[in-house]
Amino acid sequence: MRYFLPYAVACLFFATHTLMAQDPVQDDLLLLDNGTVKIGINRAKGASITWLSWATYPMNMVNSHDPGRLIQQSYYAGKMLDRKAEGQHEAWSPWSWNPIQGGGIGSWARVEVFKRIDAQTLYGETIPKLWDMPNEEATALMRQWTGFEPGMPNVLRIRCKFISERAPDDRWGTTPRSPQEVPACYFTRNFDTLKSYLGGGKWREESAAIGPPWNHARPPRGAMACFNSDGQGVAVFSPSGESWNFGPHAGGRSADPSAAPCVHLAPVILARLAPRATFTYRYWLVVGTETQIEDRLEALWSLYAGERPEIARP
């Protein structure tokens, strides 16, 4: 069950407890806006994606309630360790090596590079935090390129690169394959109608019980979407996704990005990350109505259906 619990537990914990990172006084936000869709990464929050809106839904729909939310990179490796004597939070003990782009319990991650490459691309480099500790940096580096998919104005393409720099003989050691969220997404609670895309213009609405624990699905075309009551939505296309975690958190249909209630969506694969390894993958975000989204998903499937993450070891 640990494969599906990390952010499920986090979502529930931060809804009922006050131990969380304080928001910075001023967000340092870089935005891309092509007139159809707007996306932003935030220097104060690990260069994670903290803004997503579009012409027919101009409000931000990314949940940023705590460092475990956002749209961000998240990885797991090594043995489960009890480190409570060193300050590990008891709600996440024992825990594996779990670097998080947004940050750990009580602190946001440090960003080393944060820039606009050109009118089409944003770039960030982040030293992630280990989720289970109040303020412990992981021996790793996360890089991310955020931009538009050429020829598709309502589609965003994100490339993620994770570089693990752990010592080969550290205490986490090596284990078989672990779950990797590609990526982890948290949206505002009003986007609580969840559907898998089946191809050919067909959708399957998924039973979405209140989580955590989260619901699970295996969409055959590598895409799931969440919609609000007005029919606006966002789909995550991750062709390598195997089993998807999804569901709404408890609470009303809030449209507030800082509120505790949220909607979670994460394609998950099983992959072994060695202490020194590089993991690279891409995913796409598609916004609009069901019809607008399905047209783009068909095009993306024809282009990228066979794409898989790349794992390199020195």
For residue 81, what are the domain limits? 6-312
pLDDT at 313 over 90: no
| pLDDT band at 26; cut points 50, 70, 90 | very low
Domain assignment present for residue 1? The answer is no
Q: Flag whether 96 is in a domain.
A: yes
Specify the number of domains making up the chain: 1
Residue 158 lies in a domain: yes
Name every residue whose Cβ is closer than 8 Å to that of residue 133 and which is 6 or more positions away in sequence: 83, 86, 87, 88, 89, 104, 105
In this prediction, residue 27 carries a pLDDT of 58
pTM: 0.92
Q: Please report, rounded to a whole number, the percentage of residues in the chain having pLDDT higher than 70.
A: 91
CATH number, residue 284? 2.70.98
Domain presence at residue 185: yes
Residue 157's DSSP bridge partners are: 147, 284
Q: What is the pLDDT of residues 215-249, one digit of tens each?
A: 999 999 999 999 999 999 999 999 999 999 999 99
Query: What tokens appear for 303 in the block?
Result: 């282009």
Q: Is residue 156 part of a domain?
A: yes
Asked whether residue 281 carries a pLDDT value surpassing 70, the answer given is: yes
Which among 11, 135, 157, 2 has a CA at the least distance from the CA of 81?
2
In degrees and rounded to multiples of 5, residue 89 shows phi and psi of: -70, 135
Residue at 173 is within a domain:
yes
Q: Is the pLDDT of residue 1 over 80?
A: no
The pLDDT, as a whole number, for residue 112 is 98
Q: Note the pLDDT of residue 314.
A: 67
Distances (CA, A) of 270 to 11, 125, 217, 267: 22, 24, 15, 10
For residues 61-68, give the mean pLDDT: 97
In a domain, 266, yes or no: yes
> What is the mean pLDDT of the segment spanning 127-132?
98
298 closest CA partner among 282, 280, 281, 284: 284
Q: Is 143 a member of any domain?
A: yes
Give per-residue pLDDT as tens, 185-198.
999 999 999 999 99
